[in-house]
Amino acid sequence: MNIIETFDHNNKTIEIYQDIDPQNPRDKNIQDNLDIMVCFHNRYNLGDEDHGYTSDHYNSWDEVKAQIIKDHDPVVILPLYLYDHSGITISTTPFHCPWDSGRVGFVFISRKAALENWSKKRVSPKMKKMCTEMIEGSVKKYDQYLTGDVYGFVIKDKDDNELDSCWGCYGLDYVKEQAKEAA
């Protein structure tokens, strides 16, 4: 494992590493996501494994979206796009490369899940905005997982003894913050 960055903080040395075995944030055994990612790709297993949809049953993305709306009455449903070139990255907005990118599915939060999550009886504009922000954050975190933007840190004393460590931090700025707090 190679150190990405080393710095001193509060008389301790902090070493930042790339997490070479991060946990998939879409794994239901690790994290309970309010949103659902329905993805189809012939080379990659993307999104949620147990969404219940099969690409063989649809002729277009419009048909998939219509079925999701019928089944889940989503508060928010956004398209998912994949860019595949020397690695993969995912987004809710299209990429500018027509050769190496394209639609891979949808991400949504059902009306039922949103109402239960916020203990409400109706969907307000504020709730819809919160759902959109939650989806965007979830897709960003999944993208960080897919692109290897997941880190860990080790804190050492002046004698090079390990005092603390933590792994599975999404984003370089976030891991530095967490390491400084721990030091």
* Type of residue numbered 109: I
Instruction: Summarize pLDDT for 30-87 with one digit per residue, the tens.
Output: 778 999 999 999 999 999 998 999 999 999 999 999 999 999 999 999 999 999 998 9
pLDDT in the model for residue 24: 95
Least confident of 25-29, 89-93, 141-145, 150-154: 25-29
DSSP one-letter string for 129-148: HHHHHHHHHHHHHHHHHHHT
Q: Classify residue 40 by burial, with Cβ atoms within 10 Å: 0-12, 13-18, 19+.
A: buried
| Residue 28 reports pLDDT greater than 90 | no
Q: Measuring CA to CA, which residue among 70, 73, 72, 38 is closest to residue 52?
A: 38
Q: Does the pLDDT at position 29 exceed 90?
A: no
Checking if the pLDDT of 6 tops 80, the result is yes
pLDDT above 90: residue 97: no
In the chain, which residue ranges form alpha helices assigned H by DSSP?
A: 61-72, 111-117, 125-147, 172-182
Q: How is residue 16 annotated by DSSP?
A: E
- pLDDT for 174: 97
Q: What is the mean pLDDT of residues 100-118?
A: 96
Contact (CB, 8 A) for 37 and 48:
yes
Model confidence at 132: pLDDT above 80? yes
CB neighbour list of residue 117: distance below 8 Å, 6 or more residues apart: 34
- Per-residue pLDDT, 121: 96
pLDDT band at 130 (very low <50, low <70, confident <90, very high): very high
Q: Give the confidence band of 115 by pLDDT, cuts at 50, 70, 90.
A: very high
